[in-house]
Amino acid sequence: MKSNTGVLLGRLMRNILRSPDTIITVAITPIMLMLLFVYVFGGAIETGTDNYVNYLLPGILLITIASGVAYTSLRLFTDVKSGLMARFNTMPIKRSSVLWAHVLTSFVSNALTVVVVILVALVMGFRSNADILDWLTVVGILGLFTLALTWLAVIPGLTAGSMEGATAYSYPLIFLPFISSAFVPTETMPKIVRAFAENQPVTSIVDSVRALLYEGTVGNGIWIALAWCVGIMVIAYLIASKAFKRQLG
């Protein structure tokens, strides 16, 4: 069973490497945003730190992942539409291995783009005094966030009627960091916006990652951040599994 997932993972990863445009578009948008915010808006944004790249990076990483998972939906959608999914489902292999191959592909490809974005941030002046344990915790949170959004992405990938439908959900996801503490402190926002910003998942995740990278603590918000990630993941997983079963009508 494991080796079947491996075969399918190999195929999907090869497809990603064969379409460099997907790698570039996924990495380029967050990099452009980072350049824009640091060199154009940055001077005018008051964050209480002298290194705006440092402030910005956690939010940028979440945007990277949110736009990366749209391709997970797209790849699944393509498999369903092309009939490959039906072919796999009538073969003597474990059906879940097909889904897991997509989930793992999403995980690996997002990890690659996140590394690229971090490298660009380093060139732009990103510095952190975090130790190994802090970094591992950051990797853990971002990994959970990726898994949560990936399972969310599986749902439209399986059920959408069109390519646009399969990826449309990712726009609000990419937009969510803008109404959070990712780019500016929430204190300056009008009351209602602030209430939303402070109680949505991105803010707690961004704040936790920031605390780990620059303050050497896990921060108080980490439990809220973890709860959001695990909560989204479990609910999305259950809905996705149900959609997968229903598809097999």
Partner 1 sequence: MTNTAISVKGLKKSFKDKEVLKEVDFEVQRGEIFALLGSNGAGKTTAVNILSTLMKPDSGEVSICGFDVQRQPEDVRQSISLTGQFAALDGMQTGRENLMMIAKLRGVSNPVQVTDNLLVRFNLTDAANRRADKYSGGMKRRLDIAMSLIGTPAVIFLDEPTTGLDPEARIEVWDTINELSEGGTTILLTTQYLEEAEQLADRIAILHGGRIITTGTLTDLKEMFPPTKVEYIEKQPTLEEIFLALIGKGGEVNEK
Binding site for partner 1 (CB under 8 A): 3-4, 7-8, 11, 14-15, 18-19, 82-84, 86-93, 248-249
Q: How far apart (Å, rounded) are the C-alpha atoms in residues 15 and 79?
A: 12
Q: How far is the CB of 67 from partner 1 (least distance, A)?
A: 21
Q: How far is the CB of 8 from partner 1 (least distance, A)?
A: 8
73-76, Cβ contacts within 8 angstroms, sequence gap of 24 or more: 73/153, 73/154, 73/156, 73/157, 73/160, 73/166, 73/167, 73/169, 73/170, 74/157, 74/163, 74/166, 74/167, 75/12, 75/15, 75/102, 75/105, 75/157, 76/102, 76/153, 76/154, 76/157, 76/158, 76/166
Q: How far is the CB of 160 from partner 1 (least distance, A)?
A: 17
Residue 43 carries which DSSP code?
G
Indicate the residue among 25 and 200 with the shorter CB distance to partner 1.
25
Q: How far is the CB of 165 from partner 1 (least distance, A)?
A: 19
Indicate the residue among 82 and 199 with the shorter CB distance to partner 1.
82
Determine how many CB atoms are found less than 10 A away from the CB of residue 242: 12
Indicate the residue among 9 and 147 with the shorter CB distance to partner 1.
9
Indicate the residue among 78 and 186 with the shorter CB distance to partner 1.
78
Indicate the residue among 18 and 191 with the shorter CB distance to partner 1.
18
Q: How far is the CB of 91 from partner 1 (least distance, A)?
A: 6
